[in-house]
Chains A and B, each alone.
Chain A
Amino acid sequence: MNSQDLSRRRFVSQMLGTGFGAAALPFVDALPFELEASKTGRALIVVFLDGGMSHIDTFDGKPEAKSDITGDLRSRRCAVDGVFVSTELPRIAGLLDRCVLVRSLTSGEGNHDRASRYLLTGRRPSAVLEDPGLGAAVIALERAEAKRRHVAIPAYVSVPDTAVGGGAGFLGSASLPFETGAQILRPGGRVRALEVPPEARRALGWLDQLDALDSRSDGASSDAERSLAELRGRARAMVYDREAREAFAVDREAPPIRERYGRHQLGRSCLLARRLVERGSRVVLVRDRGWDMHVQIAKRMTYGFPGKLPALDQAFSALIEDLERRGLHERTNVLLVSEFGRTPRVNPAGGRDHWPRVHCCVLHGAGLRRGFVLGESDARGEEPADRPVSPAELYATLAKLMRMPDDAKLWTSDGRPRRLVQEGVEPLSEILA
């Protein structure tokens, strides 16, 4: 009996437990996927601070600059020499000696959507071709190479939804991430779509039988139909597989751990990301909105229940520590990033505006050096002073960390090849272990 048989047995026993009974058994024979997720492959969690995180108010403090640059928030030395981190991020500051900090990220794209696309696809936005985000590209490549067939745990998940650029682009809807929706981020929240209404069980059992009969009929089957069958198979697997359902049950996590991540949305998002990666998801994109602070940035960063920076400090540090405690950091990378930075000078409204010339990001996990700082911005945080890093290079690095082949190619709908990593762009070798 091979592992696939075993997983099917487990699956059938679980499904019988859902109340569907034997009615849905014919469907099991037609399952187009394996049920066990690979829990050894590399994984990536991207914590995307949507709107533009101020580099000066977080990881690239300029305590010696004039007050119109330092603003109302303070920074202090951290565990890494020469790096000043916001006083609002004490826990992350203590972890930076296990991370890589890039302080010279520069994109030249000052529009949210364009910058976000550049960052998450590794290519400047084009009017004629929409490139896929890394998560979509990874699952498309693996599917094409038959390295991974569909498993119940979705390979690519967006929490709660997908940032611009994180979608499937030219790869089409089959590569879109599974979006959890925002409800799961509230205390006690769930992914309602995964819950089977008791009154619908008979009808759903019949539906599965119908689809199973349809998929085994000898009628001509087109690409479109095969894609639909695959999609529905993935949806069913998520419903019937207990482990998949439980991956989304954040509230089943032990209370101390939930407390450590925080009860806020970012905390629950990061906790969910860890649960998904632990169970086999390959890429999880956590989108935290609200970082576009043109007005009163100091207040908006720190006040609230909790403020943006305290929440980030709590959630991100908890994620790093949790991954390390479980050993998941040996196969998982975490990236904390924004589409651009914010103006070094505080504007008259007390905010900071878009600033793509230089910003920063934090990386952690497998295959990376620890406590390493790449590049730096100038004294006023306006330009990269050393080793400018483009989003394309960052993307190439992530692809390398995900063990994508150097010459990996994607195919557009009309059959044209497109390299996963832009021609001529190399990974950031300095930060690789």
Chain B
Amino acid sequence: MARLFRSIAYGTAALACASAGAAAQTSSFRFEVLPILERSGCAAAACHGGATGRGGFKLSLFGSEPASDWRAITEQHFGRRVDVANPEASLLLRKATKRYDHGGGRVLRADESAYETILQWIRDGAPSDLEAAPAIAALRLELEGSRVRSFVRKVGAEDDVCVDDFAHYWASDPAALRVDEDGTFEIRAPGEHWIYARYAGATARVRVLRPFTAPTSAPGVRAAAADASSDSAATCAQEIDALWRAQLARLGLVAGPAATRATIARRLSIDLADRTPTAAERRGTQDSGAHDLGVLVDRLCDAARFREVIGAMLESTFELEDDEGLAQIARQTSRQLREVLAAELPKLRTVGDLVRGLLEPGPMRRVLTRHADPRDRAEFYGRSLLGVRIGCARCHDHPSDRWRRNEHLEFSACFVDAGSGSGRLYDEDGRVVEPRLLPLRPGNSDVEATVTPREIREFTLDDAAELAARAWCHRVFVRLFGRTLYAPVDDQRLTNPVLHEAVLDRLARDMIDNDMRLDRPFRVLARTQLYGLASADEKSAAIAVRHLAARPVRVLGPARRLVVAAGALGVPARPARLSPSPVRSELELRHGPQFRTLLDEAGGYVDLLALTTQPRARLDEIWLHFLGRPPRPRERELFESSARTGDRGVLRDLVFAVLSSAEFSVLR
């Protein structure tokens, strides 16, 4: 499946090829003239490729619609843009060379080959070679020393053709990697970088890497500690660690030290259960011989609170958060749908369950159908379940985003629901659009009169399984590591490279092999040594943190802090409306009723503290339970006498202070 995704992302689908030109002409409009215009920036959004073009001359974005571009150049503006009788007087060339006033300045020189190519095309009568053209099968990049070269293979051809003179190159990070028009490049900063190339509607990429220090050989993977559960999750975790360490070795980086078991236990409890570790868990993890972290992972993932963690992730995945920027009615709908989701949560174990819930009759279907327009539904489905943004193709073809306008429209037609009034979809010519699933692999491109929910589900779990698994695994990664491997999280595409791609691929493959279970990536990732790294200060270890050789310290946001506090107190979390303004939300938590309400509900904890714990040990219990450490001498000096009284009000205030402290919010 990983190979499939790559072949789609880096190969055929990314090419999204249009028809190729006939090779008979001296100059090809499709394969030479248009790429020159694109490479010169004429078809960029800031120039003639913008929504309304520039100066009355409109090209498609990045030359994605060659037919309309040919018409724009040869027919519009009374045909003045090309002059076959006097080719050098063509407006196209006079403007490009700035012999005639041109807002975009000079983009061609008369003495360069690109100019000669366009001139020759006009001399030949500015023909269109779009009809009987072979399609492009693949665009491939090769590195030759400090130069990148481009080759294409057309359908039916056996040989690759070099297109160095026409491909347009750019770098993933221009500050770290410079790529010139002729393909020569210079790596200016260490790290992993990508060179992209676009040619005739196709996009490809190649990786270049400069290590931070001399590359090291990947250390052998340390055998994982005996895992009492001994299932395949531990094995997969070891494989992921091997891939991660291999990438670090390529980069010349060394993984940082592991965190203490107590730190990992607190991390696991908060990540997987939104609570602090229990006394038994703390004791268990102190003794490495008696308790394995893998057992703790499984125990936490089997507990009821883990379902709530999944529920919170699904709220985010399905874009149901309480957003103050939304209109009142939209916020109300989101609230209702969060309740629906909570009720349906026990049934949602796999990606297949999610798809069924969204598509088949039932209360959860409203999560999808709240979007009345089928195009909005298709885009929502793409973002939330497949982790891809197809929305750009609503307005224009975009080679880097793979999807073409017709594909967007056809996929949207799969979500037409006459019963709910979303109606039919029509194309620009007024014809009804027939539904078709996204062309992720050859063979699924048949136009259907109808596409049933079952077919969409099968498509999601088969053709699109890799996308869907990667999307969910990445969301789990973000939850467990507090950072992304690529951003935005719902934007998998060729030109959005993934940090440690092999790690994500392996995790996704494991999820597919395990029936697309939502809990599976948690069980695997939480077992890795990568997860168990000690956290480091981003300032002093910025490179290590950026490349996953160390973990950043995480700070729980106010809303999450409330959820974890509720978990630590053993009471249900209540949704709280906190301001997005950080200072204000800090004040709201400090002075508002949220923590006090939790403490009221958790009276049992305070009672237990007052009644059953030894007076001298009360302070220890509070500090260990909420902060994972005993009180420091100064803290003991300040608070012990108060705690010793056993007064419930005093104990309640102490718990409030600890829960509200900065330290409680910090996840190392």
| Contact partners of B175 in chain A: CB under 8 A | 416
Is B586 located at the chain interface by the 8 A CB criterion?
yes
Known: A214-B663, A416-B175. Is A231-B586 also a contact (CB below 8 A)? Answer: yes
Least CB distance, A203 to chain B, in whole angstroms? 4
Asked if residues B658 and A235 are in contact (CB atoms below 8 Å), the reply is: no
Is A238 located at the chain interface by the 8 A CB criterion?
yes
Instruction: Among B324, B325, B537, B661, point to the contact of A223 (Cβ < 8 A).
Output: B537
How far apart sit A162 and B325, CA to CA, in the bound complex (Å)? 9
How far apart sit A371 and B591, CA to CA, in the bound complex (Å)? 48
Is A6 located at the chain interface by the 8 A CB criterion?
no
Instruction: Among A204, A206, A227, point to the contact of B590 (Cβ < 8 A).
Output: A204
| Contact partners of B299 in chain A: CB under 8 A | none
Is A2 located at the chain interface by the 8 A CB criterion?
no
Q: Is the interface of A mostly helix, strand, loop or mixed?
A: helix
| Contact partners of A238 in chain B: CB under 8 A | 583, 587
Is A423 located at the chain interface by the 8 A CB criterion?
no
Residue-wise, chain B 588-606 has the 8 Å CB interface mask toward A (1 for contact) of 1011100010000000000
Asked if residues A224 and B538 are in contact (CB atoms below 8 Å), the reply is: yes
| Contact partners of A349 in chain B: CB under 8 A | none
How far apart sit A398 and B591, CA to CA, in the bound complex (Å)? 36
Asked if residues A231 and B582 are in contact (CB atoms below 8 Å), the reply is: yes
Asked if residues A225 and B555 are in contact (CB atoms below 8 Å), the reply is: yes
Taking each of A209, A224, A239, which has the highest tally of chain B beta carbons within 10 Å of its own beta carbon? A224
Q: Is the interface of B mostly helix, strand, loop or mixed?
A: helix
Give the contacts of B507-551 with A (CB-CB under 8 A): 535-539, 542, 546
Is B611 located at the chain interface by the 8 A CB criterion?
no
Give the contacts of B652-668 with A (CB-CB under 8 A): 652-654, 656-658, 660-663, 665-666
Asked if residues A176 and B582 are in contact (CB atoms below 8 Å), the reply is: yes
Asked if residues B657 and A203 are in contact (CB atoms below 8 Å), the reply is: yes
The count of chain A contact residues (Cβ–Cβ below 8 Å) is 52
Instruction: Among B324, B536, B538, B546, point to the contact of A161 (Cβ < 8 A).
Output: B324
Least CB distance, B108 to chain A, in whole angstroms? 23
How far apart sit A215 and B662, CA to CA, in the bound complex (Å)? 9
Give the contacts of A177-196 with B (CB-CB under 8 A): 177-181, 191-196
Is A13 located at the chain interface by the 8 A CB criterion?
no
How far apart sit A194 and B581, CA to CA, in the bound complex (Å)? 14
Least CB distance, B227 to chain A, in whole angstroms? 30
Instruction: Among A200, A215, A235, point to the contact of B583 (Cβ < 8 A).
Output: A235
How far apart sit A197 and B593, CA to CA, in the bound complex (Å)? 9
Give the contacts of A159-185 with B (CB-CB under 8 A): 161-162, 164, 173-174, 176-181
Least CB distance, B97 to chain A, in whole angstroms? 23
Is A433 located at the chain interface by the 8 A CB criterion?
no
Is B369 located at the chain interface by the 8 A CB criterion?
no
Is A414 located at the chain interface by the 8 A CB criterion?
yes
Closest partner residue, chain A, to B638 (CB atom): A209
Asked if residues B583 and A231 are in contact (CB atoms below 8 Å), the reply is: yes
Give the contacts of B625-654 with A (CB-CB under 8 A): 632, 634-635, 638-639, 652-654
Is A342 located at the chain interface by the 8 A CB criterion?
no
Is B580 located at the chain interface by the 8 A CB criterion?
yes
Asked if residues B552 and A222 are in contact (CB atoms below 8 Å), the reply is: yes
| Contact partners of A191 in chain B: CB under 8 A | 584
| Contact partners of B546 in chain A: CB under 8 A | 414
Residue-wise, chain B 539-579 has the 8 Å CB interface mask toward A (1 for contact) of 10010001000001111000000000000000000000001
How far apart sit A267 and B658, CA to CA, in the bound complex (Å)? 42
Asked if residues A197 and B657 are in contact (CB atoms below 8 Å), the reply is: no
Known: A164-B325, A203-B653, A228-B662. Is A222-B591 also a contact (CB below 8 A)? Answer: no
| Contact partners of A204 in chain B: CB under 8 A | 590-591, 657
| Contact partners of B535 in chain A: CB under 8 A | 222
How far apart sit A234 and B590, CA to CA, in the bound complex (Å)? 13
Instruction: Among A164, A178, A227, point to the contact of B584 (Cβ < 8 A).
Output: A178
Asked if residues A213 and B635 are in contact (CB atoms below 8 Å), the reply is: yes
Known: A228-B665, A239-B587. Is A158-B581 also a contact (CB below 8 A)? Answer: yes
Instruction: Among A196, A211, A224, A234, point to the contact of B552 (Cβ < 8 A).
Output: A224
Asked if residues B581 and A210 are in contact (CB atoms below 8 Å), the reply is: no
Asked if residues B581 and A195 are in contact (CB atoms below 8 Å), the reply is: no
Is A408 located at the chain interface by the 8 A CB criterion?
no
How far apart sit A174 and B632, CA to CA, in the bound complex (Å)? 30
| Contact partners of A414 in chain B: CB under 8 A | 546
Asked if residues A207 and B657 are in contact (CB atoms below 8 Å), the reply is: yes
Known: A207-B657, A217-B632. Is A223-B539 also a contact (CB below 8 A)? Answer: yes
Taking each of B579, B583, B591, B657, which has the highest tally of chain A beta carbons within 10 Å of its own beta carbon? B583
| Contact partners of A232 in chain B: CB under 8 A | 586, 662
Asked if residues A225 and B639 are in contact (CB atoms below 8 Å), the reply is: no
Instruction: Among A197, A214, A415, point to the contact of B662 (Cβ < 8 A).
Output: A214
Least CB distance, A238 to chain B, in whole angstroms? 7
Asked if residues B555 and A206 are in contact (CB atoms below 8 Å), the reply is: no
Asked if residues B537 and A222 are in contact (CB atoms below 8 Å), the reply is: yes
Asked if residues A193 and B592 are in contact (CB atoms below 8 Å), the reply is: yes
Asked if residues B662 and A229 are in contact (CB atoms below 8 Å), the reply is: yes
How far apart sit A261 and B536, CA to CA, in the bound complex (Å)? 52
Instruction: Among B538, B539, B591, B665, point to the contact of A197 (Cβ < 8 A).
Output: B591
Taking each of A176, A215, A238, A415, which has the highest tally of chain B beta carbons within 10 Å of its own beta carbon? A176
Asked if residues B590 and A179 are in contact (CB atoms below 8 Å), the reply is: no
Closest partner residue, chain B, to A217 (CB atom): B632
How far apart sit A176 and B580, CA to CA, in the bound complex (Å)? 9
Asked if residues B588 and A225 are in contact (CB atoms below 8 Å), the reply is: no
Is A1 located at the chain interface by the 8 A CB criterion?
no
Is A202 located at the chain interface by the 8 A CB criterion?
yes
Known: A195-B591, A211-B661, A222-B535. Is A176-B586 also a contact (CB below 8 A)? Answer: no
Is A221 located at the chain interface by the 8 A CB criterion?
yes
How far apart sit A210 and B622, CA to CA, in the bound complex (Å)? 13
Asked if residues A213 and B555 are in contact (CB atoms below 8 Å), the reply is: no
| Contact partners of B658 in chain A: CB under 8 A | 210
| Contact partners of B582 in chain A: CB under 8 A | 173-174, 176, 231
Is A146 located at the chain interface by the 8 A CB criterion?
no
| Contact partners of B590 in chain A: CB under 8 A | 193, 204, 207, 235, 239
Asked if residues A224 and B666 are in contact (CB atoms below 8 Å), the reply is: yes
Is A254 located at the chain interface by the 8 A CB criterion?
no
| Contact partners of B665 in chain A: CB under 8 A | 228
How far apart sit A173 and B559, CA to CA, in the bound complex (Å)? 15
Asked if residues B587 and A193 are in contact (CB atoms below 8 Å), the reply is: yes
Taking each of B325, B635, B662, which has the highest tally of chain A beta carbons within 10 Å of its own beta carbon? B662
Instruction: Among B584, B596, B666, point to the contact of A225 (Cβ < 8 A).
Output: B666
How far apart sit A178 and B635, CA to CA, in the bound complex (Å)? 32
How far apart sit A197 and B590, CA to CA, in the bound complex (Å)? 10
Asked if residues B552 and A206 are in contact (CB atoms below 8 Å), the reply is: no
Closest partner residue, chain A, to B174 (CB atom): A416
How far apart sit A231 and B554, CA to CA, in the bound complex (Å)? 15
Least CB distance, A90 to chain B, in whole angstroms? 34
How far apart sit A340 and B30, CA to CA, in the bound complex (Å)? 40
| Contact partners of B554 in chain A: CB under 8 A | 224
Least CB distance, B12 to chain A, in whole angstroms? 25
Is A132 located at the chain interface by the 8 A CB criterion?
no
Give the contacts of A219-252 with B (CB-CB under 8 A): 220-225, 227-229, 231-232, 234-235, 238-239
Closest partner residue, chain B, to A23 (CB atom): B638
Asked if residues B656 and A203 are in contact (CB atoms below 8 Å), the reply is: yes
How far apart sit A199 and B555, CA to CA, in the bound complex (Å)? 28
Taking each of B539, B581, B586, B652, which has the highest tally of chain A beta carbons within 10 Å of its own beta carbon? B581
Known A200-B656, A239-B587; further 12 A-B contacts with Cβ < 8 A: A164-B325, A203-B652, A203-B654, A203-B656, A207-B656, A214-B662, A220-B537, A222-B539, A224-B553, A227-B555, A231-B582, A414-B546
28 contacts between A and B (CB under 8 A): A154-B583, A161-B324, A162-B580, A162-B581, A173-B582, A176-B582, A178-B584, A181-B579, A193-B579, A193-B587, A200-B596, A202-B653, A203-B653, A204-B590, A206-B654, A207-B590, A207-B660, A210-B657, A213-B635, A214-B662, A214-B663, A222-B539, A222-B552, A223-B552, A225-B555, A225-B662, A228-B555, A235-B583
Ranked nearest first, the 10 interchain pairs of A and B with the lowest CB-CB distance are A193-B587, A203-B653, A222-B553, A179-B581, A206-B657, A235-B586, A207-B657, A203-B656, A222-B537, A223-B538
